[in-house]
Structure 1
Amino acid sequence: MNPHHHLHESTLLSYAAGGLPAPLSVVAGTHLEQCPHCRQRLRDAEAIGAALLEQTQPVAMEARHGQLRAAMLAQLEQASPEPSVVAVAAAPRPLPFERPEANPDHLPASLHPYFGPSLSRLRWRWIAPGVHCIRSAQMPSLIMLKIAPGKCLPMHSHGRSELTQILRGSYNDALGLFAPGDVADLDEEVEHQPVTAPGVPCICVSALDAPLVFSGWLARKIQRFVKL
């Protein structure tokens, strides 16, 4: 898998800083599992953020560094935490690295808490001809979509941000071809009309932080029922 569409720089910086809304963060994490290029960019963003944070520390803090360190060590000794707890807390959490092509039924690890581990166990809900979805119970704005091959979706833009990670199949729009591993990182300035490719259904996971904005009156009427 070699994705051609990646996370925007601002999205990566927000993800690194922990400032990305939770549903968008799940989709960003799903992409990072499958994209070595963005994982390296994330490491670069974290290094830059750490350097900037260090530069913004007050000069007076440097003089107090030894005193603060001694006080922290004294508090830790008084607390006497269990060694196993300290090890868990101190250990960095590595990003999982998934290869879904090795098992077509397997979902990326970032999605397991919300949709389970496998595609075959999903219970899809019909929302329109050729379009099915599943909405996460924990995060209603985090959804999975299964769209039939050759399906043309309504023209729409976005109220704010949208992240869509392609898991299976593909689609084309004005921005190009989006295939497995690609992510569509979109904002309110983008208007597009995805058309799924022939062959197999396009399965993707999407997160929105505002409802879609449809151009056609029929799509706007249906939107009230499907809540996209």
Structure 2
Amino acid sequence: MMPAHHLDPATVVAYAAGALSEAMAVVVATHLAGCDHCRAQVRDAERIGGVLVEQQQPDAAGAARRDQLRAQMIERLDESPAIPAQAAPAPAPTVADPDSLPAPLHTYFGRSFGTLKWRWMAPGVHCIRSRVVSGGQLFMLRIAPGKSMPLHSHGRSELTQVLRGAYNDVLGHFGPGDVADLDSEVTHQPVTAVGLPCICVAALDAPLRFPGWFARRLQPLVGL
């Protein structure tokens, strides 16, 4: 099933250009592993990016032209329709290991859900931080069903890819395969759905912002 929530076109362009932090690029790669639509957008961005390379003049006119082309690229990606299911040949049937983590996460967290070593963060909330990522914060969260997270916004960007379970917030319902691509303008309060714990991988370029005094007091302890 195609994910319902995709990468922002600006994120696609930045990923294709190699301009994302390592943490952000890992979450993008995890989403791309299961999303035909966003993989096609990355391919488009890489093709159009060749034009940008040719416009690397040092003068002001060249810089303006680059900005114009980049804006046109983002607009084109933003307006492109979802890829119909029949556009790509169906892959050969395979039996996926339900315990296996997506391949882009292996270097940072290991190969399987069963070997993850969770650390308690709060009642019903557990976390694992990657210690090998060189740029940004990369971590996994496991949140119990029906748990309401603190209301928060973002210092810069946040990318969250749902691996198992689901949550709901002002932006909608996010299930397995969906990615939340958020900037500093978004304030939200995820609430995990009933049923399975929600397991996701997330990246931050800057600490979260909490309007509540209690969450702000706890922030130095949890480090997000």
TM-score by length of 1: 0.79
- Structure 2: 5+ residue stretches without partners: 59-90
Moved more, 155-164 or 215-224: 215-224
The whole-number CA distance in structure 1 between the counterparts of 2:55 and 2:169 is 43
Matches within 5 A, 1:1-228: 1-54=1-54, 102-139=96-133, 141-228=137-224
> Given the superposition, is the C-alpha separation of residues 5 and 171 from structure 1 closer, same or farther in structure 2, using an over 3 Å criterion?
same
The whole-number CA distance in structure 1 between the counterparts of 2:188 and 2:175 is 16
Shift of 1:10: 0.6
Letter in 2 for 1:50: G
Shift of 1:52: 3.0
Shift of 1:102: 2.7
TM-score by length of 2: 0.80
> Given the superposition, is the C-alpha separation of residues 149 and 12 from structure 1 closer, same or farther in structure 2, using an over 3 Å criterion?
same
The whole-number CA distance in structure 2 between the counterparts of 1:159 and 1:52 is 29
The whole-number CA distance in structure 2 between the counterparts of 1:56 and 1:39 is 26
The whole-number CA distance in structure 2 between the counterparts of 1:224 and 1:37 is 38
- Structure 1: 5+ residue stretches without partners: 59-96
Shift of 1:53: 2.1
Task: Check whether the contact 1:100–1:106 (CA below 8 A) recurs between aligned residues.
Answer: no
Q: Aligned to 1:20, what secondary structure does the other structure show?
A: coil
Task: Check whether the contact 1:100–1:108 (CA below 8 A) recurs between aligned residues.
Answer: no
Q: Aligned to 2:114, what secondary structure does the other structure show?
A: coil
Aligned to 2:80: none
Q: Aligned to 1:191, what secondary structure does the other structure show?
A: coil
Shift of 1:56: 5.0
Count of aligned residue pairs for this structure pair: 189
- Say which one has the larger Rg: 1
The whole-number CA distance in structure 1 between the counterparts of 2:27 and 2:120 is 22
Aligned to 2:88: none
> Given the superposition, is the C-alpha separation of residues 100 and 184 from structure 1 closer, same or farther in structure 2, using an over 3 Å criterion?
farther
> Given the superposition, is the C-alpha separation of residues 185 and 100 from structure 1 closer, same or farther in structure 2, using an over 3 Å criterion?
farther
Shift of 1:55: 5.3
The whole-number CA distance in structure 2 between the counterparts of 1:111 and 1:117 is 7
Q: Aligned to 1:146, what secondary structure does the other structure show?
A: strand
The whole-number CA distance in structure 1 between the counterparts of 2:223 and 2:56 is 44
Task: Check whether the contact 1:100–1:107 (CA below 8 A) recurs between aligned residues.
Answer: no
Shift of 1:137: 1.1
The whole-number CA distance in structure 1 between the counterparts of 2:184 and 2:29 is 22
Give the root-mean-square deviation of aligned CA atoms. 2.0
Shift of 1:213: 0.3
Q: Aligned to 2:112, what secondary structure does the other structure show?
A: coil
What are the superposed Cα offsets for residues 145-171 of structure 1, whole Å, 9 maximum, x if unpaired? 000000000100000000000000000
